[in-house]
Amino acid sequence: MKILVTGAAGFIGSHLAERLAAAGHEVVGIDCFTEYYSTALKRLNAEDVRSHGVTIHELDLAADDLSRAVRGVEAVIHLAAQPGISDHVSFQTYVRNNMEATWRLLEAVKSQDSLRGFINVATSSVYGAHATDDEETAPKPTSYYGVTKLAAEQLVLAYHRDKALPACSLRIFSVYGERERPEKLYPKLISSILEGREFPLHRGSDRHSRTFTYISDVLDAFEAVLARLDACNGEILNIGSDIEITTGEGIALIEKIMGRRARLAIKPPRAGDQLKTRANIEKARRLLGWEPRVPPEEGLRREVEWYESRIYGRVAI
């Protein structure tokens, strides 16, 4: 199958492009290498991806001509987005990179007769402060990120309803693992411990609970969807671990793995943060036969090993 992966130099996209290429698919990637986080890390990811035979087009979904990149694709997995909750990113940037980019991609692929499935990648942030219910629950996002990702999801599903575009959307819960973005909890914590720096922790966030989902489990879910495109057409699916731990417990696991304590520096609470996520994955189990398998301690051990061997002292992030 010819598959287009957007955000192919990012955390999830780079792993997915490699996995699909290894499975024998013809994989084409798009990434615009924005400076939201270290381009050096994304270039390193892209080098690894290209070594698997994947072509990556350096394009801006919100501005550039996409016709060459989408030609003949049978499936699109749309991961590219303006991620995260940040006071330094304007609402207009979230709109451009999440909504306008998605609209332009849809316009580019809608005329491709070869298209069998458009897999939109959404987020648990669409649910809001408490993300614990099933896909029928009314979304209540509390951040620009959650609002614009929900709008992008509904735009994809509108093309499905109005234009018969074969599409579905996966709401992903707190993915972690090798190549994770530097500003995320675990890479930032690992880096601070290795360098002996203080780790900034927003007040009360140690009690926030998450179903952290290891990267390989998410990749398994994507492959399961690709194998069942007809069954997933028009559907929304939660994808995440059902093992719930608090941020404080996650920090303690990293400290145990590394054998060193973090120097915590308590900061004011962060607006828009989720308080509790627990992925309700009964629908994914039923439709995909999918099950998350990697427990938090094992996944975090792999992430620490990657950071120490590939990043620390080698890549400026």
Q: Confirm whether 145 is a catalytic residue.
A: yes
Per-residue pLDDT of the chain (317 residues; tens, 9 = 90+): 999 999 999 999 999 999 999 999 999 999 999 999 889 999 999 999 999 999 999 999 999 999 999 999 999 999 999 998 878 899 999 999 999 999 999 999 999 999 999 999 999 999 999 999 999 999 999 999 999 999 999 999 999 999 999 999 999 999 999 999 999 999 999 999 999 999 999 999 999 999 999 999 999 999 999 999 999 999 999 999 989 999 999 999 999 999 999 999 999 988 877 888 999 999 999 999 999 999 999 999 999 999 999 999 888 87
Q: How far apart are CA 278 and CA 241, in angstroms?
A: 8
CA-to-CA dists, residue 65 to 48, 60, 113, 293, angstroms: 25, 8, 19, 40
Q: How far apart are CA 70 and CA 204, in angstroms?
A: 45
Paired residues of 276 in beta bridges: 130, 209
Domains of the chain, with CATH numbers? 2-175+213-239 (3.40.50.720), 178-210+243-277+294-311 (3.90.25.10)
Active-site position among 145, 159, 176, 214: 145
| Per-residue DSSP letter, 127 | G
